[in-house]
């Protein structure tokens, strides 16, 4: 064992070689030294446990190669791009909405240059960073004003903290939602310091239930859009219109957590109908919160729209500064909203809507390209078919609705082969993420961003 330890080079010896000096020039002295020490530590542990020297110290060339590999990997961002073939277009675990080209360009400008974030160019004085978005929201929805925070949960928290601390908020028991990551409406209410007052039952709530719960300490009547589940059968719920009329009677504001954030009628694209922000405003709702990275198709953000007087109070609350968005998000959001000013071009330019509305014929052509490529690369080990599939919007939007799609399915002689293939897909430079159903791998084309990039990536399977 002593002889093996003696074969290990010193850090100094590695650094003083020509290759070591080149590594220092590329990565810096500190990084190279730390890497050498780390590898030597690993080698000593292996010698102790197995009485063998690791392969990366079996020759000097192997050592240099290993150091370079470690230092190169150290520079790689771990949030890496993937090919989404799950069939879920707005996949929360894969980053939800893809930014449009316009949003990407606006974000790059904000990253690389100084921008008039809180500066009014016309008057030469400080302004508010939400002004551009607020003006756009007014144009698109008719809302008096808007407030932007970093996600919809933050939007709900800000509303409740500003107006309902120490007070009661009335909500239907059937709308006490939980979304991914264990976000629950009751927990947000508790964090905001207000008291939850449940009314009705899980499946049926009536206007009289709200009326009977109102007292002098009621801050809000609240509606929550149950976008990620449905209650069917013997059901009843109170509409926003009915609730706002009741609110006016008692001078109590009505707020809605709309969640998904549709700004256009999706049924015109043969997609499932979702309540829009404009419809809620027309029904008299005082404050509406929704997400920027779901059906809206932009970056992660929480958008609150409604009465100007209420929005101004939100902007003045100390939490607003804690929850505000940076220049990159605001630039991407503004560029996304500007696409809605040209509704006839929206399905062409808004990436998420473009993916959701691709015709089956186009998806079939892509599937044929994908199948032909995979047949060449996988040889006879697997059986490939083009099959009809059911995609979904994702991110809790219309979970029961299925969107017609096309997939390439892969079946193997046994589950072990499929498991090994899934691992190979995930080890590619841009991992390929599909889904497994009925002992098949399904590569659903509805959620794929770029077929050409996918085909290029798959060529790595032949290595």
In a domain, 207, yes or no: yes
SS (H, E, C) 421-455: HHHHHHCCCCCEECEEECCEEEEEHHHCCCHHHHH
Are residues 390 and 307 located together in one domain of the fold?
no
Same domain membership, residue 261 and residue 200 = yes
Which domain CATH number covers 208? Answer: 3.40.640.10
For residue 256, CA distances in Å to 188, 286, 388, 409 come to 14, 8, 37, 42
Q: How confident is the model over 101-134, as pLDDT tens digits?
A: 999 999 999 999 999 999 999 899 999 999 999 9
Same domain, 417 and 437: yes
Q: Which two tokens stand for residue 357?
A: 């509305």
Q: For residue 87, what are its two tokens?
A: 């069939």
Instruction: Report yes or no: 320 and 158 within 8 Å, Cβ to Cβ.
Output: yes
Instruction: Please tell me whether residues 215 and 314 are part of one structural domain.
Output: yes
The residue out of 349, 371, 400 marking a domain boundary is: 349
- Burial class from Cβ neighbours inside 10 Å (0-12, 13-18, 19+) for residue 430 reads middle
Q: What is the pLDDT of residues 415-442, one digit of tens each?
A: 788 999 999 999 999 999 999 998 999 9
pLDDT (tens digit per residue) in 275-308: 999 999 999 999 999 999 999 999 999 999 999 9
Q: Which domain holds residue 275?
A: 101-349
CB 181 within 8 A of CB 211: no
Pairing relation of β-strands 403-412 and 382-391?
antiparallel
DSSP class of 102 = H
User: At residue 283, what are phi and psi to the nearest 5 degrees?
Assistant: -85, 0
Domain boundary among 324, 349, 374: 349
**Are 86 and 389 in contact, with CB atoms under 8 Å apart?**
no
pLDDT value at position 77? 86
pLDDT attached to residue 369: 98
Would you say residue 96 lies in a domain?
no
- Report the predicted TM-score, pTM, of the whole model to 2 decimal places: 0.90
In this structure, the answer to whether residues 32 and 178 fall within a common structural domain is no
pLDDT value of position 280: 94
Task: Give dist(CA 333, CA 303) in Å, integer.
Answer: 10
pLDDT tens digits, 75-102? 988 899 999 999 999 999 999 999 999 9
- 325 and 252, same structural domain? yes
Q: Do 304 and 452 share a domain, yes or no? A: no
């Amino acid at each position: 064992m002593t002889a093996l330890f003696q074969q290990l080079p010193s850090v100094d010896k590695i650094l003083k070689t020509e290759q070591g000096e080149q590594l220092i020039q590329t990565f810096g002295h500190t990084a190279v030294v730390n890497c050498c020490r780390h590898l030597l530590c690993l080698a000593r542990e292996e010698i102790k446990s197995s009485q063998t020297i690791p392969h990366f110290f079996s020759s000097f060339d192997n050592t240099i190669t290993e150091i370079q590999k470690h230092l190169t990997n150290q520079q790689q961002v771990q949030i890496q791009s993937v090919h989404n073939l799950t069939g879920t277009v707005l996949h929360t675990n894969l980053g939800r909405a893809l930014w449009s080209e316009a949003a990407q360009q606006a974000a790059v400008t904000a990253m690389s240059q100084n921008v008039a974030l809180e500066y009014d160019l016309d008057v030469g004085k400080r302004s508010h960073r939400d002004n551009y978005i607020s003006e756009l929201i007014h144009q698109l929805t008719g809302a008096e004003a808007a407030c932007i925070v970093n996600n919809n949960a933050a939007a709900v928290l800000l509303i409740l903290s500003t107006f309902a601390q120490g007070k009661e908020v009335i909500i239907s028991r059937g709308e006490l939602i939980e979304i991914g990551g264990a976000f629950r409406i009751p927990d947000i209410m508790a964090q905001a310091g207000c008291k939850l007052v449940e009314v009705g039952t899980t499946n049926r709530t009536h206007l009289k239930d709200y009326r009977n719960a109102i007292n002098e300490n009621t801050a809000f009547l609240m509606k929550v859009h149950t976008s990620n589940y449905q209650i069917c059968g013997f059901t009843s719920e109170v509409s926003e219109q009915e609730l706002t009329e009741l609110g006016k009677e008692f001078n109590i504001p009505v707020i809605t957590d709309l969640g998904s954030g549709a700004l256009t009628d999706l049924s015109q694209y043969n997609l499932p109908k979702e309540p829009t922000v404009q419809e809620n405003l027309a029904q008299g709702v005082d404050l509406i919160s929704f997400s920027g990275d779901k059906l809206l198709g932009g970056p992660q953000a929480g958008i609150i729209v409604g009465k100007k007087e209420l929005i101004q109070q939100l902007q003045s609350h100390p939490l607003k500064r804690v929850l505000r968005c940076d220049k990159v998000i605001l630039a991407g959001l503004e560029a996304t909203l500007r696409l809605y000013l040209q509704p006839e071009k929206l399905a062409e330019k808004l990436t998420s809507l473009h993916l959701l509305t691709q015709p089956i014929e186009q998806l079939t052509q892509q599937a044929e390209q994908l199948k032909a490529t995979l047949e060449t690369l996988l040889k006879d080990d697997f059986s490939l078919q083009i099959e009809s599939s059911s995609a979904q919007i994702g991110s809790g939007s219309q979970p029961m609705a299925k969107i017609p799609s096309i997939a390439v399915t892969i079946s193997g002689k046994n589950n072990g082969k499929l498991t090994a293939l899934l691992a190979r897909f995930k080890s590619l430079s841009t991992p390929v993420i599909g889904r497994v159903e009925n002992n098949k791998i399904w590569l659903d084309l509805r959620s794929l961003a770029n077929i050409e990039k996918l085909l290029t990536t798959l060529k790595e399977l032949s290595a």
